[in-house]
């Protein structure tokens, strides 16, 4: 949820990986109002049940998030399997364990921190400023009310604060950093020689029977998959908006009728003093502070000394400006009820304890003139008019394409749409365009479109983008003729045989040098020993990679051999290893590596912390109910 609102990545593989990694964090804070009543329990964590309804709700929310993130690339089948269900359940279990750990540690997230996160989230802003109406609308699109989102956000931030504290406790010592730098800059003294594949090529014979046999055994490799080319028409709000006729009178009327959209909400700035707890003792403490304020003591100084909201106390309790539907309802009602800057509320009780609130600023709604908002007005007007046309024409698109299934001509003419054509593509689709969309690919290769030459049903690319397709051309799966591929097969067989001969010769030489024979007497191209770093450009990367995996020589040199990608066999002699010189490593390089090492250790610490919580907990998964 938080990741979806914060970021907008592209590419289904990236989102799938990020989605799985973020399951525990994305699900922290799912509350009972989402799970509803259920007597079917799928797991218990220290006696606290996780219900089947709660798991199903979390699964659906996860799929919804991934659908929103991935857009047209979303495939429900990717997220409908036992592995995903297990990951989501593990996330819910981790949530319970971290929640218990938070309670034990008595951690809190202040209203100010929640407010600041919401206000700084770009998805909730218009023209760079937080918009409470837009905030509610965005949440509604993903199935949340502000209260639900804020409860989940608070739990997310609380759990993330705990894991962040663990991560921040991880360090990469100077000793460890220096050792890593020495390894990174390590040099190895190697000599090597090559048994070239080319010297065996002339010895290899490949006859027609072998080529034919290879072809018959590997027909799948020489089969061109079936392809289809499509005609299509597309109805989209964006395209319709471009054609909407505009005149100034219409825009001015639209501006007058919707002026509230161009006026920002009232914002208030407040400071507060928090005393945690809901008992008489907490109430007496806040009343004592109130008395001191009434006697003239400075509110900000008292906040620094007495407030238990660590996030704002150091700033004199300042929470900054905020609008409606951000703070705790009781806190917000009290803040907006204060009439004058400088007024201080009576003690206000919230779930965090008792507050005294001081009004420190009022930012009245600011409206834009028509001239200032003209471009925004035009865009909104075009969009509104286009959406109206879109919904009318969407029904015509569905009806006409169904009633005239043999082509797109009638539908295109009636709606003034252009018939476009895709390039040919296979069942795997393409990387871009409509033929990268799984819905389009599935429809293109459906029986109605492919075999019966009918229009497809309306394909919904998005809420504002519809498509109907019709087959233009179908190219069946075809096996490439033997004559066209036999030269390539012959070259492949020659390479394979010559490579095997080079390998046999190389392995024979390797055994001899291990027995004490001089390698330069067996390999005419033997290279004298020299020290090389990991990324030396004078030597093949494959040779360096192999040399840096070899065991450090003790009393005598080590030898190894391998077949390179080009078919040559390489014999390597490792005689010495020396650590890298770190004296010339600059501060920027040291910091970069230290951050990398710290990140690795921090991730390991969090993983170990959660693993320990799991080890100490009583976790019972009811497999029958889970199925």
The answer to whether residues 508 and 418 belong to one domain is: no
Residue 273 belongs to a domain: yes
**230 in the same domain as 379:** yes
φ, ψ dihedrals at 516, nearest 5°: 120, -5
Do both 464 and 518 map to the same domain?
A: no
Is position 253 within any domain? no
Question: 77 and 40, same structural domain?
Answer: yes
- 25/69 same-domain check: yes
Other Cβ atoms less than 10 A from the Cβ of 85: the count is: 19
Q: Does 407 share its domain with 300?
A: no
Residue 79 sits in a domain whose CATH number is: 1.10.4030.10
CB 620, CB 189: distance < 8 Å:
no
By CB atoms closer than 10 A (0-12, 13-18, 19+), residue 597 is middle
Select from 476, 492, 514 the last residue of a domain.
476
In a domain, 447, yes or no: yes
Q: What are residue 523's phi and psi, to 5 degrees? A: -125, 115
Structural domain contains residue 600: no
Distance CA 404, CA 418 (A): 17
Identify which of 521, 430, 440 has the alpha carbon closest to the alpha carbon of residue 231.
440
Q: What is the reported pLDDT for 444?
A: 95
H-state helical runs in 219-279: 237-242, 248-257
- 3-class SS of residue 437: coil
Q: What is the pLDDT of residue 374?
A: 85
Burial class of residue 216 in the structure, from the number of CB atoms within 10 Å of its CB (0-12 exposed, 13-18 middle, 19+ buried): exposed
Helix, strand counts (H, E) of the chain: 27, 19
Give per-10-residue mean pLDDT for the chain (627 aa): 33 38 38 45 88 82 75 67 84 86 79 83 81 80 76 80 81 85 92 96 94 94 92 93 87 80 79 92 94 94 90 88 84 92 94 93 78 83 88 92 94 95 92 90 93 94 91 93 94 96 97 95 95 93 95 93 97 94 85 86 87 90 75
The CATH number covering residue 396 comes to 3.10.50
- For residues 523 and 458, membership in a common domain is answered with no
Of 390, 82, 436, the residue nearest 230 (C-alpha): 436
DSSP annotation of 606 reads H
Q: What is the mean pLDDT of the chain?
A: 85
Instruction: Give the E-state strand segments of 277-367 in sequence order.
Output: 318-322, 348-350, 353-363
User: Are the C-beta atoms of residues 577 and 186 closer than 8 Å to each other?
Assistant: yes
Residues 17, 146, single domain; the answer is yes
Cα–Cα distance for residue pair 478/476, rounded to 1 Å: 6
Q: Are residues 290 and 420 in the same domain?
A: no
Measured over the CA atoms of residue 583, residue 589, residue 595 and residue 598, the dihedral's sign is negative
The structure tokens listed for 217 are 């055994």
Nearest alpha carbon to residue 389 among 479, 464, 451: 464
Q: Are 571 and 561 in contact (CB under 8 A)?
A: yes
Say if residue 422 is in the same domain as residue 278.
no
Residue that is written with structure tokens 């001191």 in the block: 292
176 within domain boundaries: no
The closest of 193, 192, 190 to 574, measured between CA atoms, is: 190
φ, ψ at 479 (rounded to 5°): -90, 130
Q: For residue 15, tell me if it sits in a domain.
A: yes
φ, ψ for residue 610 (rounded to 5)? -65, -40
Cβ atoms 197, 502 nearer than 8 A: yes
Write the CATH number for 287. 3.10.50.40
Same domain, 408 and 501: no
Sequential DSSP letters for 378-395:
HHHHHHHHHHHHHHHHHH
Length of the chain: 627
Side-chain-facing half-sphere of 254: CA atoms under 13 Å:
19
Quick one: 486 and 465 in the same domain?
Answer: no
Q: Give residue-wise pLDDT tens across range 479-535.
A: 999 999 999 999 999 999 999 999 999 999 999 999 999 999 999 999 999 999 999
Structural domain boundaries, residue 354 = 266-363
Contact yes or no for 360/300 (Cβ under 8 A): no
Q: With contact defined as beta carbons under 8 Å apart, do 446 and 457 qualify?
A: no
Q: What is the pLDDT of residue 5?
A: 30
φ/ψ (deg, to 5) at 512: -70, -45
DSSP per position, 508-552: HHHHHHHTT--HHHH-TTPEEEEEE-TT-SSS-HHHHHHHTTSPP
Do 302 and 292 form a contact (C-beta atoms < 8 A)?
Answer: yes
For the stretch 114-159, pLDDT in tens is: 888 888 888 888 777 888 888 888 787 666 788 878 877 887 788 7
For 467, half-sphere exposure in the C-beta direction (CA atoms, 13 angstrom radius) is 24
20-39 in b/e form (b: 16+ CB < 10 A) is bebbbbbbbbbeeebbeebe
Question: Is 593 domain-assigned?
Answer: no
Of the three residues 476, 511, 530, the one that is the final residue of a domain is 476
Q: What is the pLDDT of residue 468?
A: 97
The Cβ of residue 485 has, within 10 Å, a number of other Cβ atoms equal to 18
The verdict on residue 180 lying in a domain is no
Contact 135, 268 (CB under 8 A): no
**602 token code pair:** 């921090």
Smallest CA-to-CA distance from 273 within 259, 253, 258, 287 is with 287
Choosing from 363, 394, 411, the residue where a domain stops is: 363
Counting the structural domains of the chain, the total is 4
């Amino acid at each position: 949820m938080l990741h979806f609102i914060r970021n907008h990545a592209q590419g289904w593989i990236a989102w799938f990986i990020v989605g799985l990694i973020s399951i525990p964090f994305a699900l922290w804070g799912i509350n009972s109002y989402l799970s509803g009543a259920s007597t079917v329990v799928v797991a218990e964590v220290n006696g606290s049940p996780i219900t089947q309804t709660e798991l199903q709700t979390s699964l659906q929310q996860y799929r919804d998030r991934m659908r929103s993130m991935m857009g047209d690339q979303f495939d429900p089948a990717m997220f409908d399997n036992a592995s995903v269900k297990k990951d989501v359940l593990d996330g819910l279990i981790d949530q319970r364990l971290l929640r218990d750990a938070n309670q034990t540690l008595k951690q809190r997230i202040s209203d100010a921190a929640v407010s600041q996160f919401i206000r700084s989230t770009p998805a909730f802003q218009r023209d760079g400023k937080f918009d409470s109406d837009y905030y509610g609308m965005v949440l509604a699109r993903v199935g949340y009310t502000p209260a639900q989102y804020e409860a989940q956000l608070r739990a997310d931030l609380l759990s993330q604060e705990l894991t962040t504290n663990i991560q921040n406790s991880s360090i990469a010592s100077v000793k460890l950093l220096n050792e890593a730098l020495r390894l990174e800059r390590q040099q190895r003294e190697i000599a090597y020689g090559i048994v070239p594949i080319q010297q065996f090529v002339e010895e290899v014979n490949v006859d027609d029977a072998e080529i034919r046999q290879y072809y018959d055994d590997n027909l799948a490799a020489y089969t061109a998959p079936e392809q289809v080319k499509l005609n299509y028409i597309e109805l989209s709000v964006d395209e319709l908006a471009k054609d909407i006729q505009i005149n100034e009178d219409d825009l001015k009327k639209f501006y007058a009728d919707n002026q509230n959209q161009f006026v920002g909400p009232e914002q208030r700035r407040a400071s507060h003093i928090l005393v945690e707890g809901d008992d008489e003792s907490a109430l007496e403490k806040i009343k004592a502070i109130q008395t001191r304020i009434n006697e003239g003591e400075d509110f900000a100084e008292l906040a620094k000394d007495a407030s238990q909201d660590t996030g704002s106390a150091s700033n004199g309790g300042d929470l900054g400006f905020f609008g409606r539907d951000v703070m705790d309802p009781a806190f917000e009602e009290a803040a907006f009820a204060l009439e004058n800057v400088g007024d201080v509320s009576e003690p206000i009780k919230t779930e965090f304890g008792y507050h005294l609130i001081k009004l420190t600023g009022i930012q009245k709604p600011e409206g834009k003139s028509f001239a200032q908002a003209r471009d925004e007005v035009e865009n909104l007007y075009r969009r509104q008019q286009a959406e109206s046309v879109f919904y009318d024409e969407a029904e015509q698109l569905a009806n006409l394409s169904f009633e005239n299934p043999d082509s797109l001509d009638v539908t295109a003419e009636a709606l003034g749409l252009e018939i476009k054509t895709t390039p040919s593509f296979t069942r795997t689709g393409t990387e871009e365009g409509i033929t990268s969309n799984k819905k389009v690919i599935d429809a293109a290769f459906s029986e109605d479109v492919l075999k019966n030459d009918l229009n497809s049903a309306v394909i919904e690319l998005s809420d504002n983008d519809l498509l109907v397709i019709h087959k233009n051309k179908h190219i069946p799966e075809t096996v490439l003729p033997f004559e066209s591929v036999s030269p390539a097969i012959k070259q492949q067989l020659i390479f394979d045989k010559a490579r095997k001969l080079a390998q046999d010769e190389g392995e024979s030489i390797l055994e001899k040098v291990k027995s004490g024979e001089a390698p330069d007497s067996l390999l005419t191209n033997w290279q004298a020993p020299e020290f090389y770093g990991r990324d030396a450009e004078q030597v093949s990367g494959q040779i360096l990679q192999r040399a840096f995996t070899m065991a450090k020589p003790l009393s005598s040199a080590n030898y190894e051999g391998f077949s390179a990608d080009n078919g040559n066999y390489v014999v390597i002699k490792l005689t010495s290893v020396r650590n890298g010189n770190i004296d010339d490593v600059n501060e920027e390089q040291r910091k970069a590596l230290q951050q990398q090492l710290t990140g690795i250790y921090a991730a390991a610490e969090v993983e170990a912390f959660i693993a320990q919580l799991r080890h100490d907990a009583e976790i019972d998964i009811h497999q029958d109910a889970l199925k």
